[in-house]
Structure 1
């Protein structure tokens, strides 16, 4: 039988304090990659050429619609979980009833 040597991992360093984070951010140059937005990939489903970008109001409506759909999906998921639990409970009761009937029959 071969024994594997346990690997000893180095301890994790302590996370920086708020003061250290603020000092780091304040000392960073404006050209620091953290502060530079990456080039956006080409939009496949963007507006057609010559059409204006969607207005802020339209974006706001789209976001509200997305949030609403997300909330409805979460509610539906919870209702499905409740129904699943109920079906499992009913199935267990049915299994017990069948077992009792079989015992009485034999």
Structure 2
């Protein structure tokens, strides 16, 4: 019987640090020296990380901007349709009253 394993204390590991924020990552990249191994690896693979990243970011920005524009247009159209619906409802009620008056005069 192994009694020693039951009496062992569990070691409490330190909690993981929070991941860095985008600003911290950008600051780290901007402070890196041109001789940083990451940049030299990218050069060896022939990847232009700044251009691809910038164009990808620009594309995402343009997509988000277009989405916001379309969303605003949809909200305006929704408001206009609600107003038109209310006008049609009021016109229908007025028409019903006018029809009732005409029927009342004919009888």
Superposition TM-score, scaled by structure 1 size: 0.51
What aligned pairs does 1:15-34 form with structure 2 within 5 A after superposition?
A: 29-30=15-16
Rounded Cα–Cα distance in structure 1 between residues aligned with 2:104 and 2:92: 18
Residue 73 of structure 2: SS of its match in structure 1? helix
Deviation at 1:29, TM superposition (A): 3.0
Deviation at 1:31, TM superposition (A): 7.0
Give 5+ residue unaligned stretches, structure 1.
Answer: 1-27, 36-51
Aligned to 1:57: 58
Residue 55 of structure 1: SS of its match in structure 2? helix
Aligned to 1:48: none
Deviation at 1:83, TM superposition (A): 0.2
- Backbone CA RMSD of aligned residues: 2.3
Instruction: Kindly provide the CA deviation profile for residues 24-56 of structure 1, in whole angstroms up to 9, marking residues without a partner as x.
Output: xxxx93378xx7xxxxxxxxxxxxxxxx67610
Deviation at 1:68, TM superposition (A): 0.5
What aligned pairs does 1:47-86 form with structure 2 within 5 A after superposition?
A: 55-86=56-87
Query: Whose Rg is larger?
Result: 2
Task: Please identify runs of 4+ aligned residues in structure 1 that moved more than 3 A.
Answer: none
Structure having the larger proportion of residues in helix: 2
Aligned to 1:45: none
| 2:101 is the counterpart of 1:100 | yes
